[in-house]
Each structure stands twice: as structure tokens, then as C-alpha cells.
Amino acid sequence: MTIEAVLFDADGVIQRPTVDWRTTLESFVRPDQSAEEFVLDLMESEVPGLSGKGDFRVAVADVLARWESTAPMETVLDLWHRFEAEPAVVAIIAELRAAGIGCHLATNQHAYRRAIMQDERGYRDWFDQTFYSCDLGVAKPDTAYFKSILTALDKPASSVLFIDDKAANIEGARAVGLQAAQYDLDEGIPALRTLLATHGLPPTP
């Protein structure tokens, strides 16, 4: 079936970090503590927020208190601002939309990061619709996430292409009938164009 819409993941597909966030996070604990376990604790604190449950700022504060970290709260939160979109991918999205292909953001984010992307960075202007897991109340790779998007798009699943850098998310999308392809920014822009061409995108003028 002809592709009528494309769902783009964010991290790893559209945007990438601008700092070595893991190394920076590891500096927020004492030398006698396990930096690896601290980072894992902090990453796990994000999970409820991805489905719209809890406040990420409160979760971070709890982690810092648990580890007796002296790092200022705002310094830690600033890391979630340290990312940038790849201009070439944004340009491809604009090309697809100009060709009449609906382009939508499909990303797992808590409300704190959503506000940065959607409001501060203007991601809302790049897409026809944006689907943040915190708004949907369910996160990838849960099939309910994809079903919710299909309901909003009102299109056959086989006419929608989903692009993500994680295999588990690709499997979740395929489970509901979406066409799905794995891609990572590190593969380069030509690889993305080849992926799209394989699915007949953009259409030949």
C-alpha cells in the first residue's frame, strides 16, 4: 500500500545529545559511590513520567537526595536541554510534507522534555501532529501507543511508516500492522533517504 504518513521517533532519529551526558551525570556523585548505579537510578526515575505519571522534577530531586548528591537541581535538569535536531532530517520532513505526505512525531518523552521540544524548540511547527507518550498515557513499545496514534490519524496501519532507532519499538509498531524501519542518525542522511525511497518516498514528481 502507498505510504500516506510517516511517524518519526525523536532521539536517535531526529535529534542527538550535544554533551556526553553519561559522563556528566557520573560526576554528580562521590568517588566512593557507583556512578553506573546512580545513572541507572536516574534513568529509571524517568520511566513513570514517560506515561504521564508523576513529576520528573520531583523524581530527580528524590534521586539526588537518595544519593546525597550536592549537584544543584537545575544543573542536573539542564542536561535534558542539551540536544539538537539534525537540520538535514528536518529538511527531509519538510520535503515530505511539501509532497503531500503527512509527517508526525512519535516519541517517548516526559512532560518536562516535551515542553522543551514542543514549546521552546518549536517542534510543533515541523509536523502535522505530534504524539508524545506523556500525553497519550502510554509509551512505546506498548501496542496501545501505536493504536492511539492510528486512531488519531484515521488511516490504515499499512499506509503508515514508522521510523525508530530501537528494535523493540519497531516490533511494537509492526504488531499493529504499521510498516516500520529501524534507523539511527549515526548511519547518515543518505541511509535515511534510501530507507524512504525503499518505501516509495518521496513520490516521483
Q: 22: pLDDT confidence band, cut at 50, 70 and 90?
A: confident
Judgement on whether residues 110 and 70 belong to the same structural domain of the protein: no
Average pLDDT of the chain is 95
Q: Looking at residues 97-108, what average pLDDT do you find?
A: 97
DSSP reduced 3-state for 100: coil
Judgement on whether residues 105 and 183 belong to the same structural domain of the protein: yes
Cβ atoms of 82 and 19 within 8 Å: the answer is yes
Query: Does residue 203 have a cis peptide bond before it, meaning omega lies within 30 degrees of 0?
Result: no
Task: Identify the domain boundary among 81, 103, 118.
Answer: 81
DSSP reduced 3-state for 91: helix
Judgement on whether residues 182 and 127 belong to the same structural domain of the protein: yes
The helix (H) or strand (E) run that includes residue 47 is helix 35-50
100: cell is 503531500
Instruction: Give helix 143-153 / helix 167-175 axis angle, nearest 10°.
Output: 60
Give the burial class of 192: count Cβ atoms within 10 A of its Cβ; 0-12 exposed, 13-18 middle, 19 or more buried: buried
Q: 203: pLDDT confidence band, cut at 50, 70 and 90?
A: low
Integer Cα distance of 203 and 99 in angstroms: 7
Domain range for residue 167?
Answer: 5-16+84-198
Residue 11 within a domain: yes
Cβ atoms of 4 and 160 within 8 Å: the answer is yes
Residue 205 within a domain: no
The answer on pLDDT for 204 being more than 80 is no
Judgement on whether residues 32 and 111 belong to the same structural domain of the protein: no
Judgement on whether residues 180 and 132 belong to the same structural domain of the protein: yes
- Placement of cell 490519524 in the chain: 153
Q: 128: pLDDT confidence band, cut at 50, 70 and 90?
A: very high
52-95 per-position pLDDT tens digit: 998 999 999 999 999 999 999 999 999 999 999 999 999 999 99
Judgement on whether residues 147 and 165 belong to the same structural domain of the protein: yes
